[in-house]
Amino acid sequence: MALTASSTVGDWLTHPAGGAALRALLGSSFEESQLNPVRGLPLQQLVALSQGQLPQAAVDALVLQVNDGVVPADDAASSAWREKITPGRFAGQTVIVTGAASGIGRATASRIAREGGRVIAVDITTSGLEALAADLSAALSPAAAGPGPATGPGSATGPGSATGSAAGPGSATGSGGAVITVTADITRDEDIAAIVAAAGPRIDGLANIAGVVDDFTPAHETSDKVWERVFAVNVDGVFKLTRAVLPAMLTAHRGAIVNIASEAALRGNAAGIAYTASKHAVVGITKNTAFMYGPEGIRVNAVAPGGVATGMRPTDQSAFGLGRTGPFLKLIPPIATAEHLAASITFLLSDDAVNLNGAILPSDGGWSIQ
């Protein structure tokens, strides 16, 4: 098996030449057990996760070293998971995705658009939305996806932006899919209204993915500022946008909502008190809305991710909190990619999940059974 940057860290470590080369690069002082959570990720993913400690040039040199100076084509036999697009799964549907500028939200928005859906991509970060629109404009172009209309991204500053801009939403369309970007803050009522306006009268799905983390602080160290910010985004934003899309779904007698809970929604040792409480609240929102609106053809479910390679990590973490949670976090299964989570989210949004309502789906590699 030829090793490439797309081969998993596990494949590299078990390969005679690859393992020796990777261990030599990391150095004798590096504790190999630190790689256990990322063994299932492509080696390429470590460039972003290492925050500069493993540069792209080092990965490129490693691939050349173990392949006698030649960069091989990706090996289909590699154990690395590959996203499998289902063409047309979201054809004719409009789906709102928050947190779409990066991480899980970006991967979810991208997949829905590439599967034929019209995505209202929402985030507070304009630059990330512009990058998403540009990437999807290329992916959805006739050259990439066959005959069909294609337009490049326009302004990525949509209605209801955090700066009060009145500019229209940017967009990328083609091959049945489309993305309309809306720069918005889901904690602001006027921005919620603007998101729904950008979607139009028909809203088939909502993925409440935008969220913030806490700093692992326990109750006696948690400030009002941290508590209120975490709840404003993780709970109030989810509730307000859910409330805003329900009238359209009730009119249509159909719809699907997927909220993002967390492993912290299932236990008490995965985060600080603010994040843990906020994600428990998301579970409550999910179950109640699933019960209330199930008879109206509206399904509401949640995905509970474990560790995900998104770069979303707290700063200035509490020593007290990490002292308690740290030993447990060292035992988690290998972390997932944003695309892994997008696969779970899009399944629940799609008609493939027709008989699922009120489910809290752990997408955590088995962490929840520990």
As a three-state string, the secondary structure of 282-349 is HHHHHHHHHHHHHHHCEEEEEEEECCECCCCCCCCCCHHHHHHHHHHHCCCCCCECHHHHHHHHHHHH
Question: 240, 279, 287, 293: which is the annotated catalytic residue?
Answer: 279
230 Cβ contact list (under 8 Å, min separation 6): 212, 213, 214, 274, 275, 278
The pLDDT assigned to 152 comes to 35
Cα–chain center distance at 321: 25
Q: How does pLDDT run across 74-129, given as a tens digit for each residue?
A: 655 555 677 889 999 999 999 999 999 999 999 999 999 999 999 999 999 999 99
User: Active site includes 279?
Assistant: yes
Instruction: Give the number of residues written for the chain.
Output: 370
Ordered structural domains, the chain, with CATH: 9-66 (no CATH), 94-369 (3.40.50.720)
Question: 84, 225, 240, 275: which is the annotated catalytic residue?
Answer: 275
Span between the terminal Cα atoms of the chain, in Å:
33
User: Is residue 219's pLDDT more than 50?
Assistant: yes
Q: How does pLDDT run across 337-355, given as a tens digit for each residue?
A: 889 899 999 999 999 999 9
For residues 273 and 268, the model is more confident at: 273
CB 97 within 8 A of CB 132: no
Q: At what angle do helices 338-349 and 103-114 cross, to 10 degrees?
A: 50
Q: How does pLDDT run across 282-337, given as a tens digit for each residue?
A: 999 999 999 999 999 999 999 998 766 555 455 566 676 566 655 655 556 567 78
Mean pLDDT in residue range 236-253: 98
* Cα R_g (the chain), whole angstroms: 21
User: Is residue 175's pLDDT more than 80?
Assistant: no
Least Cα distance to 181 among 240, 70, 236, 165 occurs for: 165
Q: How does pLDDT run across 28-45, given as a tens digit for each residue?
A: 777 777 677 677 778 877
User: Active site includes 287?
Assistant: no
Bridge partners of residue 178, in order along the sequence: 118, 173
Q: For residue 254, which amino acid is it?
A: R
Task: Specify the pTM.
Answer: 0.76
58 Cβ contact list (under 8 Å, min separation 6): 25
The pLDDT assigned to 165 comes to 34
Average pLDDT, the chain: 83
Place of tokens 């009145």: 166
Q: How does pLDDT run across 117-171, given as a tens digit for each residue?
A: 999 999 999 999 999 999 998 888 655 444 333 333 333 333 333 333 333 456 6
